[in-house]
């Protein structure tokens, strides 16, 4: 499957907070044999969330993280509702979850607003539940809460064959460009990534067929 990730938060765009959620989600999906085609970050504005989400809906599934809290700038649910043309409604199920953590009515009312028809996903480590609607999952932005709810949702996707191998090459990337191009041309079914490190290059080979991954690595070794 092809996935996209939409990160919501002014604090990410300003550099105030270092984003880690998309990295976590992308790694997990990739190791399951899926592809993450887009990672997009938007501010806490309804129109921006809706606009970008509409673009990302061309993929099989979209994970949205951030902006599900009770403050004025937590507008992700509204942005998702606008993108998929659903209205927001008060969810009694969400209210029950939130009441486990707080009795503040303003918090309960804000967090309980979700798009009509949403499936509620319990957050076992925090106040705000996640939800799934159509092919969109909205996750909390707090990393441990995101991981908790993501873990519950990702189980519904099948795990496909995925194999990875690495080759460390001493020296600099510019010295192996021609050889890499030959390997890429010969093994189009293998994804090949080149990652420069201090004093060496790490080449990653990944794909669904373990024999092709091994052959691609061996071929590069022979060229070197």
Could you tell me which CATH number the domain at 163-223 has?
3.30.70.60
Burial-class residue 194 by CB neighbours within 10 Å (0-12, 13-18, 19+).
middle
Ordered mean pLDDT values, 10 residues apiece, the chain (224 residues)? 97 95 97 95 98 98 96 95 97 95 93 97 96 98 97 94 94 94 96 95 94 97 94
For 2-154, CATH number? 3.40.980.10
Ordered by start, the domain boundaries in the chain are 2-154, 163-223
* List of long-range contacts for 148-151, beta carbons under 8 Å, 24+ apart: 148/123, 148/124, 149/121, 149/122, 149/123, 150/24, 150/25, 150/28, 150/63
Tokens 């990534």 sit on residue? 193
pLDDT of residue 161: 86
Which residues, in sequence order, are CB contacts of 181 under 8 Å at separation 6+?
A: none
| Fold match, 2-154 / 163-223 | no
| HSE (side-chain half, CA atoms, 13 Å) at 40 | 21
Res 182: pLDDT: 96
Q: What is the pLDDT of residue 10?
A: 96
Quote the CA–CA distance of 109 and 98 in Å, as a whole number: 9
Q: Which of 141, 151, 144 is nearest to 69 (CA)?
A: 141
């Amino acid at each position: 499957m092809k996935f996209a990730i939409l990160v919501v938060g002014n604090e990410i765009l300003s550099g105030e907070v270092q984003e880690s959620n998309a990295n976590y989600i992308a790694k997990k999906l990739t190791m399951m044999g899926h592809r993450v085609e887009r990672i997009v970050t938007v501010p806490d504005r309804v129109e921006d969330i809706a606009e970008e989400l509409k673009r990302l809906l061309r993929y099989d599934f979209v994970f949205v993280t951030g902006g599900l809290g009770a403050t004025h700038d937590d507008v992700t649910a509204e942005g998702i509702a606008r993108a998929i043309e659903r209205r927001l409604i008060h969810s009694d199920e969400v209210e029950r979850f939130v009441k486990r953590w707080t009795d503040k009515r303003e918090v309960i009312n804000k967090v309980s607003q979700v798009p009509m028809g949403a499936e509620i996903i319990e957050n076992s480590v925090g106040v705000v539940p996640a939800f799934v609607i159509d092919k969109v999952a909205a996750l909390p932005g707090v990393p441990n809460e995101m991981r908790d709810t993501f873990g519950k949702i990702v189980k519904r996707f099948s795990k496909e064959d995925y194999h990875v191998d690495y080759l460390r090459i001493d020296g600099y990337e510019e010295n192996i460009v021609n050889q890499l191009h030959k390997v890429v041309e010969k093994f189009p079914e293998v994804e090949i990534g080149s990652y420069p490190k201090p004093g060496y290059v790490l080449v990653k080979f990944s794909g669904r067929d373990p024999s092709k991954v091994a052959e691609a690595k061996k071929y590069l070794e022979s060229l070197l």
